[in-house]
Amino acid sequence: MTSTQRERRHVAVVGGGPAGLAAAVAAAEHGARVTLVESSRELGGQYWRHLPDERDGHRQSAMHHGWSTYQDLERRVRSSPDITVLAETSVWAVDAPTAAGRGPGLGVPTLQLLTGPADAATRVPSTLRPDAIVIATGAHDRTLPFPGWDLPGVFTGGAAQAFAKSERIAVGGNVVVAGAGPFLLPVAASLAQVGSRVIEVVEANRIPRLASGWLPKPWQLAGAPGKVSELFGYVAGQLRHRIPYRVGEAVVEAHGDGRVERVTIASIDAQWRPIPGSERQVACDAVCVTHGFTPRLEVAIAAGCALSDDRFVVIDESCATSAAGVYAAGEVTGIGGVDLSLAEGRVAGHCAAGGAARDPQVSDAQRRRAVFGAFAARIDAAHGVRPGWQDWLRDDTIVCRCEEVTAGQLRGKAAATGSRSLRSQKLATRAGLGICQARICGRSAEELLQAATGSTGELDEGIVDRRPIQTPIRLAELAGISEEQHPLTGRQDP
């Protein structure tokens, strides 16, 4: 082996969505050996989720924006001799670095992997010791609780899109789409394309807030003409399918005998408190609800990455985090859409492979980061969650669906103990201890605890996202991991 080969960097990219694909390609272009870890069978992430290979895919592009970009990235990843793709592979644990410095096992966290279908009993464990890591784990829907949200027929917008994109299945015949943010529009479009009748789209924020978020400094939008044309495309689709778009309203209750049969929609004020007397009921057989997104922080927190006040991974101009040798890109650093994810992914991959943030190879990506970063700030300003949603809840409203813990139980325990600790809430009520490990209810339970105790600051930083074991693992799998596969004794990198 030559000295050049010995010094060649090994970059692990966690996540095969837009940011991860861009990072893998950029790292390989800069001379690194790349291992791309993706939990799904297919690359593309939620944004480019598509029909499986065995299905007729000649109409793949019909459900996607930027499909040609995905095809180009996927081709370059698959054809590169320097990129190894580990599909159906999850990071189940991250081990702290053993010593300062650079190189396998030195200064950079170790990744513990399981490869195989998530529900299989034959998953194969392995250990990855890269010279640098790019975390591109993305985000998932945040759905605020409301009475009846545990009924069959209530879906997140992301789940509805996943069925539409990957299976061409409609989650319902007559569907209400509700929540906050521009993501409501592509959800409605996907449903209409697979045959649903979308009764209406309901945006929680009122016109003054939407205007204050989107209208200032309109020249900034000129740098993102693709976003503007995409918006017009969705608006045209709404008009074509005659889908009403209502603002300042929210689904505050779902009703039905065994499944959703109708929903109550109410006008809400600027803080999202329901306005008495404004309620109306709408018959439907499904409701798709999304109130923005929550970043997937398990790997980042385990790797030691610092978080911002709004709970995203903090990065610098090279997309480096506070943890040595660890970079981050995409929705885990802030909700900004696919263009920002692609730009950050390219910068992160290039720098993880040993490049610099101001190299000419990433100058265009850095320019796009600035443009679409401003776009991301507008999304938060116009569509962010407001605290009045807690007024939707009754005491018997389930907040933690896994453990069937109600809002009344959470509020009562908080008021009785005065504790600001989410840990004590978990122990007292079991909220967040179910199969989802607080991925769905964690932020809502945290905000309820803050309100009940009069707290304005953070409780236990990152606690709802801190999971030493980051994905479900069988006890047999845990017991079967041999000494040779332990990060300190070493199995060869995949």
Could you confirm whether domain 394-482 is CATH 1.10.10? yes
Long-range contacts of 307-311 (CB under 8 A, 24+ apart): 307/461, 307/462, 309/458, 310/380, 311/462, 311/465
List, for residues 209-226, the tens digit of each pLDDT value. Answer: 999 988 888 777 776 667
Instruction: Please give the Cα distance from 101 to 129 (Å, whole number).
Output: 13
Please check whether residue 293 is in contact with residue 280, taking contact to mean a CB–CB distance below 8 angstroms: no
pLDDT (0 to 100) of residue 99: 55
What is the rounded average pLDDT of the residues 180-201?
94
List, for residues 36-82, the tens digit of each pLDDT value. Answer: 999 998 999 988 887 766 565 556 666 777 888 999 999 999 999 99
Helices 67-79, 18-29: crossing angle, 10 deg rounding: 40
Could you confirm whether domain 143-291 is CATH 3.50.50.60? yes
Which of 158-167, 231-240, 304-313, 439-448 bottoms out in mean pLDDT, i.e. has the lowest?
A: 231-240
List, for residues 316-372, the tens digit of each pLDDT value. Answer: 999 999 999 999 999 999 998 899 999 999 999 999 999 999 999 999 999 999 988
pLDDT (0 to 100) of residue 2: 42
List, for residues 129-155, the tens digit of each pLDDT value. Answer: 999 999 999 999 999 999 999 999 999
Of the pLDDT bands very low, low, confident and very high (cuts 50, 70, 90), residue 103 is very low
Q: Would you call 1 exposed, middle or buried from its count of C-beta atoms within 10 A (0-12, 13-18, 19+)?
A: exposed
List, for residues 378-436, the tens digit of each pLDDT value. Answer: 888 999 999 999 999 999 999 999 999 999 999 988 877 777 677 778 888 888 888 88
pLDDT (0 to 100) of residue 302: 93
Whole-number percent of the chain with pLDDT over 70: 89
In this predicted structure, the answer to whether residue 494 has a pLDDT above a threshold of 60 is no
CATH number for the domain running over 3-139+294-379:
3.50.50.60
pLDDT (0 to 100) of residue 229: 72
pLDDT (0 to 100) of residue 489: 43
Q: In the predicted model, what is the mean pLDDT of the chain?
A: 88
pLDDT (0 to 100) of residue 201: 97
In the chain, CATH 3.50.50.60 sits at 3-139+294-379, 143-291
Give residues with Cβ within 8 angstroms of 319, minimum separation 6. 134, 327, 328, 329, 333, 344, 347, 348, 351, 357
Q: Could you count the other beta carbons within 10 Å of the beta carbon of residue 116? A: 15
